Amino acid sequence: MRLKVAWRLLVIQRALVRHGLDEYVRETHLFRPMRFLLLLSPWTWFQRIRGVSRGERLRLALEELGPIFVKFGQALSTRRDLLPTDIADELAKLQDRVPPFPGEQAQAAIEASLGGPVQSFFDDFQPTPIAAASIAQVHTARLKNGTEVVVKVLRPGMHQVIRRDIDVLHALAGLADRYWAGARRLRPREVVAEYEKTVFDELDLMREAANAAQLKRNFAGSSLLYVPQVYWDLCRRDVLVMERIHGIIISRIEELKARGTDIARLAENGVEIFFTQVFRHNFFHADMHPGNIFVQVDDPKNPRYAAVDFGIVGTLQERDQHYLAENFMAFFDRDYRRIASLHIESGWVPRSTRLDELESAVRTVCEPIFNKPLAEISFAQVLLRLFETARRFDMQIQPQLILLQKTLLNIEGLGRQLYPQLDLWKTAQPVLRAWMRERVSPLSMAKQLRRQLPDVLQAARLLPAVFQSVTREAAEGRFALSVHSTELQELRDEIRRGHRRRDSVLLGVAIWLGGATALVVFPWAPLLGWGLMIAGTVVAAAHLRARA
């Protein structure tokens, strides 16, 4: 395995040299002696690609190195504000113009998966693909009932290719973790592990079909986003069949304008869709580069997005979702102390961080960007300054938020291309405020209580036995833990924890009994009784968790 990784690193360097990208090789700190052998090798120089622009050389190198590197180029292509125009134009071709593999090969793979010739399932299957991406390519066809569909099929050998490059990333992350001072904060091993899960999920087209179906349900009846229909009978792990979408690719801005599209409304709708997915649905399309987004302009004044390619979606834990929303709202309100406090509470920065210092640093970064249109804001500079602030306060990268961060960058890139005057915050703020109001509304709390009621009833049935066991232990004084250390301070700490544990259990039991009594005495106020019983159960359960 190590030999394969080392060989792959050499192949990467050779490809960069061959495409005239020597500066990247000179910055590489791995295999330094071999690096110069590559640069001086006549074989490398004779194969050197000449006479093409730097943007094309970079694109060709990424295509040669495979899907992991193509995806990197796709992400870069959405940030035209950060790239020279010639490089941005070339990298944009990676969205849907990756060289295809032969149509006969694709047809054979489809027939092997579906268990019969394509003529048995489709009329007019087209062997020539309409789009080719880094992991799969797409063909058009027509079902027997006349419905136009697209057929997505994985590239041959994708699992082996991805596995090889993921191993390379793991090796690089391991070296960074060992030798790089910033590794503890950036957590490269966890970042690669998170990316590994994401990219292998993308290789399962049944998962992509399920993602599309979920997103379609979430936006059922919406005028903002259209999601194509999945034809489940024709879907397999390496084949996906869904309704064909007709529309204008979002990057063709001049064509959209020529059709009379309301560009400002289109840009605002994109922001609303993103925040709705992240906070209201907690299920968001996380691969929103221009090649995956179409615009339907049947009504130019009310343009509608249409999405494709659902291989990468993101969700957040409720805790992270809450902290993100609170951070956004605090940012909108310029409450920098709240932002600093949230970062400490969430554990994103060490708890020893001084609140006033972090507040001042956040204010310094955020204050200059207010009251400016998007065209006048350099988010690249903001991110760089936040990065510097992060280093100062030892802020750690949160791997579970990487997809969200990537999607935010994509959204900003699309927004900048569509409508530079877009007020991102004005568009997003109402969505966030409505979501936060819903979370604390009586109806939402009642629904949550109803969902948790079976668990509460089960806990209530078990609580008398737990209460009997706990009171017996308390009466016999068996709350103390075995302590093998001779250190006096450790002994004192254990005694204090034992006392707190005992007190919390007794308090929990008392609260639970109070709730049970309230249900009997005040039957017209069940929420009071159930609330006390839930609180008592939680407090008592803390004892069991501590013992475990």
**Angstrom distances, CA of residue 522 to CA of 459, 509, 511:** 22, 19, 16
Q: What is the DSSP string of 30-45?
A: SSHHHHHHHHH-HHHH
160-164 long-range contacts (CB < 8 A, ≥24 apart) are: 161/66, 161/67, 162/67, 162/68, 162/135, 162/199, 162/200, 162/203, 164/4, 164/8
How many Cβ atoms from other residues are within 10 Å of residue 46's Cβ? Answer: 8
Q: Mark 224-253 as b/e (b = at least 16 C-beta within 10 Å).
A: ebbbbebbeebbbebbbbbbbeebbbbbeb
Q: In this structure, how many other beta carbons lie within 10 angstroms of the beta carbon of residue 32?
A: 8
Strand partners, 313: 285
Burial class (CB in 10 A: 0-12, 13-18, 19+), 548: exposed
- Can you name the residues that pair with 225 across neighbouring β-strands? 305
Do 503 and 470 meet the contact criterion of CB atoms below 8 Å apart?
Answer: no
| Whole-number Å distance between alpha carbons of 209 and 146 | 21
| The one catalytic residue among 123, 287, 299, 394 | 287
Q: Any catalytic annotation for residue 167? A: no
**H or E element at residue 141:** strand 136-143
Inter-axis angle of helices 402-418 and 263-275, nearest 10: 170
Three-state DSSP class for residue 295: strand
Residues with catalytic function: 287
